[in-house]
Amino acid sequence: MKLSYTILLLFITLTGYAKHDVKVYYEKSDDGYILYADNNEYCPITIQLEFTVTNLKLKDQNNSVYTVLPRQKKQLVTQLTVIQKNRGYKFSYTSWTNYGDATKDTYDLDYAYDLPYEKGQSFQVHQGYNGSFSHHNKNALDFDMPIGSGVHAIRDGVVIKIVKQHYQSCGTKECKKYNNHIIIYHSDGTFAEYTHLKQNGVTVAIGDHIKQGQLIGYSGNTGWSTGPHLHLEVFLQKMKKRETLKTKFKINSGSEILFLKEKNSYKK
């Protein structure tokens, strides 16, 4: 009598860092597994997957990145195929996620942004691009706006993130976690972050479609900040870091379009 049997060892561990509202899962197929993702965020999400496999072949190179569309259910991510059917097989993976399409490196260079305050108002840029206090190698702008000034959207977009509960602040990096802020996703794949908003100083909700010039909140002095101001940055999100961008702004009722400079004041 010949006794033959097959033991299929199935051992799957999934390690993920759930910073974003995205879920990766798998289904068994005839010859292995198919991985899918649900993205509940209002912008694309990039997922990086590092697999450890036994007796399974990866469809893509290990550590590949995948972009999942906004508000997408069951988007196909990748597949794993069993190599030898009569042997055990297993896989595990670690995943990283971030906002946006991390593979994107082109955007609308000539877009004319609005100043982030009310029409007719004028504020000084007290720290500019690559500024010496906290903007080292960073394309960010600090506007000298007093607490409670209306913050207006610099461009159309969708609200993807809001933090508004904090009231603490200090002049060192430890206070960064108290930065109240709004992040808006733009149609060319860039984002804008409006930071240091006052506690509960947000007038929009996640998923709202925002028009350029619309009131979105109120400036403050929360987080890593030594005085009332609005910190503004436009960026492309890469897998592990932001690529902050210099952008042009409309000033004086749109009669001029230029890059803003430190210590100058600009009227909207």
| Contacting range for Zn ion; rule: CB under 5 A; set: 68-76, 80-88, 136-144, 209-217 | 136-144
Q: Could you tell me the smallest distance in angstroms from the CB atom of residue 235 to Zn ion?
A: 13
Q: Could you tell me the smallest distance in angstroms from the CB atom of residue 61 to Zn ion?
A: 38
Residue nearest to Zn ion (CB): 231
Helix (H) or strand (E) holding 152: strand 150-152
Q: Could you tell me the smallest distance in angstroms from the CB atom of residue 231 to Zn ion?
A: 3
Q: What region, left, alpha or beta, does residue 85 occupy, with left being phi > 0 and alpha being psi -120 to 50 degrees?
A: alpha
Give the residue among 171, 161, 164, 250 at the shortest CA–CA distance from 207.
161
From 41, 101, 142, 193, residue interacting with Zn ion (rule: CB under 5 A):
142
Give the residue among 139, 30, 146, 50 at the shortest CA–CA distance from 97.
50
Question: Does 101 help bind Zn ion (rule: CB under 5 A)?
Answer: no
Minimum CB distance to Zn ion smaller for 85 or for 176 = 176
Q: Could you tell me the smallest distance in angstroms from the CB atom of residue 112 to Zn ion?
A: 22
How far is Cα 215 from Cα 232, in angstroms, rounded to an integer?
A: 15
Minimum CB distance to Zn ion smaller for 186 or for 231 = 231
DSSP state letter for 15:
E
Q: Could you tell me the smallest distance in angstroms from the CB atom of residue 210 to Zn ion?
A: 22
- Burial environment of residue 136 by CB neighbours within 10 A (0 to 12, 13 to 18, 19 or more): exposed
Q: Please state, as a whole number, how many other Cβ atoms lie within 10 Å of the Cβ of residue 216.
A: 25
Minimum CB distance to Zn ion smaller for 140 or for 234 = 140
189-248 residues in contact with Zn ion (CB under 5 A) are: 231
Minimum CB distance to Zn ion smaller for 166 or for 231 = 231
Type of residue found at 122: S
Residues that bind Zn ion (CB under 5 A): 140, 142, 231
